[in-house]
C-alpha cells in the first residue's frame, strides 16, 4: 500500500482558507512535492469511448485545474482522465473573494468563483508543451462581458481542439450571469451548432475531439427533453451530468449553507443522479454520459454507472479525503463489478434501468 500523504497533509491544508488551500495543492502538485499514486490496473476498469481508452472510469471534474497547470501530475494520482478549465477566451479575475466555502459538516462545498482563469492562450501554451499521454478534456466557458456567447465557445473550441482529448461546452455554472439560460431549448441548438461548426472548420476529421455538453442539476423536464433531442440529433457526442446546484437542501447544517453560489459534494449526489437517470432514459442509452455530483465512494460511483454513466468524475470529496480516494474507489469498484457478474464497466452502464424495463 502506498502512503496516503493526505492523512497528515490534509488537516494542515484544511487549516488554510479554501482558496489558499487549493492554491497550495496546485503548487505542491506542480513542484513534484506530492508523491505519485500508482493507478489501480484492472481489465474490468478500462473503458473505450470515442476511440479513447480510459484506463479507469474515475476522472477529475472541471474547476480544480482551471488553467491546465498540472494535468499530468493529477493523472499521476490515479485518475482515469482529467478535465481542465473552465477556460474563457480572455483571462478574467472572477468574483470577489471569499468565493469558496467548506461545508465540512455536510461534506459539501459552495463556490461562486465566476470562471477566474488565465484565458485560452495560456491554456493552449501549457497543453501544447505537455507530453500527449493520458486523457485530458478541456472545459470551455464564456467571458462575463461577452454578449454573443456562442462566439466565445467557437473561439475556445477552435483554439483548444488540437490539445484536447475531448471538449466540453459548459453552460451550467451558476456564477456567470445568464449562462444557464443557454441551456434553454431556443438557445441551445444554435449554440451547439455554432460550436460544432467552428470545431469542424478548425480541425481535420481524424483529429477532431468529441464535443460534450455539461448540464445543471436544476433543469425542468421540458429542458431535459429538449437537450436530449439536440444531443441525439448528432450535434453532441456526450453529456456531463451535472454541475453544482443552486438549490439548498433543508438537511444542510453548516454555517455557510446560505452562501450564494453552486453547492457540490454529498448533498448533490441524489439530485444529480436523478437527472443522470432521466437523461439516460431520454437518450435511450445511445449517448455516453459522464456522471458527476457527490461521489465520495466506490458505491457512489457504481450507483452512477448503474444509473447510466459510462464514466464518472469528482471534485468536492477530494477536498476532504485527498487523492488517495481515487485508488480506493477504483479498487472497490473492481469488487462491486465482480460481485454483480459484470466483466467490465460497460456491462454495468444503465443496468438499473434495464432491470426496470424488463
Q: Which residues bind ligand FMN (CB under 6 A)?
A: 61-63, 66, 86, 100, 109, 111, 113, 139, 170, 173, 214, 243-244, 264-265, 268, 292-295, 314-317
Contact in structure between 105 and 254 (CB atoms under 8 Å): yes
Among residues 123 and 342, whose Cβ is nearest to ligand FMN?
123
Q: In the complex, what is the shortest distance from the CB of residue 237 to ligand FMN, in angstroms, rounded to a whole number?
A: 17
Contact in structure between 344 and 300 (CB atoms under 8 Å): no
Among residues 175 and 342, whose Cβ is nearest to ligand FMN?
175
Q: In the complex, what is the shortest distance from the CB of residue 191 to ligand FMN, in angstroms, rounded to a whole number?
A: 15
Contact in structure between 63 and 102 (CB atoms under 8 Å): no
Q: In the complex, what is the shortest distance from the CB of residue 349 to ligand FMN, in angstroms, rounded to a whole number?
A: 19
Contact in structure between 267 and 294 (CB atoms under 8 Å): yes
Taking alpha carbons only, the member of 70, 149, 62 closest to residue 111 is: 62
Please give the full DSSP string across 287-314, using - where no structure is assigned. Answer: S-EEEESS--SHHHHHHHHHHT-SEEEE
Q: What angle do CA 271, 20, 126 make, to 5 degrees?
A: 85
| CB-nearest residue to ligand FMN | 63
Contact in structure between 46 and 54 (CB atoms under 8 Å): yes
- Separation CA 94–CA 114 (nearest Å): 5
Whether 173 is catalytic is yes
User: Exactly one of 173, 264, 272, 316 is catalytic; which is it?
Assistant: 173
Among residues 35 and 98, whose Cβ is nearest to ligand FMN?
98
Among residues 305 and 342, whose Cβ is nearest to ligand FMN?
305
Contact in structure between 80 and 163 (CB atoms under 8 Å): no
Q: In the complex, what is the shortest distance from the CB of residue 356 to ligand FMN, in angstroms, rounded to a whole number?
A: 25
Cell (9 digits) for 244: 453544482
Residues listed for the chain: 358
Among residues 248 and 347, whose Cβ is nearest to ligand FMN?
248
Contact in structure between 93 and 116 (CB atoms under 8 Å): yes
Q: In the complex, what is the shortest distance from the CB of residue 169 to ligand FMN, in angstroms, rounded to a whole number?
A: 10
Catalytic residues: 173
Amino acid at each position: 500500500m502506498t502512503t496516503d500523504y493526505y492523512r497528515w497533509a490534509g488537516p494542515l491544508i484544511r487549516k488554510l482558507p479554501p482558496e489558499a488551500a487549493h492554491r497550495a495543492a496546485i503548487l505542491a502538485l506542480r513542484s513534484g512535492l506530492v508523491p505519485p499514486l500508482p493507478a489501480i490496473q484492472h481489465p474490468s476498469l478500462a473503458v473505450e469511448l470515442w476511440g479513447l481508452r480510459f484506463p479507469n472510469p474515475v476522472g477529475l471534474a472541471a474547476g480544480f485545474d482551471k488553467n491546465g497547470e498540472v494535468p499530468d501530475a493529477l493523472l499521476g494520482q490515479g485518475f482515469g482522465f482529467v478535465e481542465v478549465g473552465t477556460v474563457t477566451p480572455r483571462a478574467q479575475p472572477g468574483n470577489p473573494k471569499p468565493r469558496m466555502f467548506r461545508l465540512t459538516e455536510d461534506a459539501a462545498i459552495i463556490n461562486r468563483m465566476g470562471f477566474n482563469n488565465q484565458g485560452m492562450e495560456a491554456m493552449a501554451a501549457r497543453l501544447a508543451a505537455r507530453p500527449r499521454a493520458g486523457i485530458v478534456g478541456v472545459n470551455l466557458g464564456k467571458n462575463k462581458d461577452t454578449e454573443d456567447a456562442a462566439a466565445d465557445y467557437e473561439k475556445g473550441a477552435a483554439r483548444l481542439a488540437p490539445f484536447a482529448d475531448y471538449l466540453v461546452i459548459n453552460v451550467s455554472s451558476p456564477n456567470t450571469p445568464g449562462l444557464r439560460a443557454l441551456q434553454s431549448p431556443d438557445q441551445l441548438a444554435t449554440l451547439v451548432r455554432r460550436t460544432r461548426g467552428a470545431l469542424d472548420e478548425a480541425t481535420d476529421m481524424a483529429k477532431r475531439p468529441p464535443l460534450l455538453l455539461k448540464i445543471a442539476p436544476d433543469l425542468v423536464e421540458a429542458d431535459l427533453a429538449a437537450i436530449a433531442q439536440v444531443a441525439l440529433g448528432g450535434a453532441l457526442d456526450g453529456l456531463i451530468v451535472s454541475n453544482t446546484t443552486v438549490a439548498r437542501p433543508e438537511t444542510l447544517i453548516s454555517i455557510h449553507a446560505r452562501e450564494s453560489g453552486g453547492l457540490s459534494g454529498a448533498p448533490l449526489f441524489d439530485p444529480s443522479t436523478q437527472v443522470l437517470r432521466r437523461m439516460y432514459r431520454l437518450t435511450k442509452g445511445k449517448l455516453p454520459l459522464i456522471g458527476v455530483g457527490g461521489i465520495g465512494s466506490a458505491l457512489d460511483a457504481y450507483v452512477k454507472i448503474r444509473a447510466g454513466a459510462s464514466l464518472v468524475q469528482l471534485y468536492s470529496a477530494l477536498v476532504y479525503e485527498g487523492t488517495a480516494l481515487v485508488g480506493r474507489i477504483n479498487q472497490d469498484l473492481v469488487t462491486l463489478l465482480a460481485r454483480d457478474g459484470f466483466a467490465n464497466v460497460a456491462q454495468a452502464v444503465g443496468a438499473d434501468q434495464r432491470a426496470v424495463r424488463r
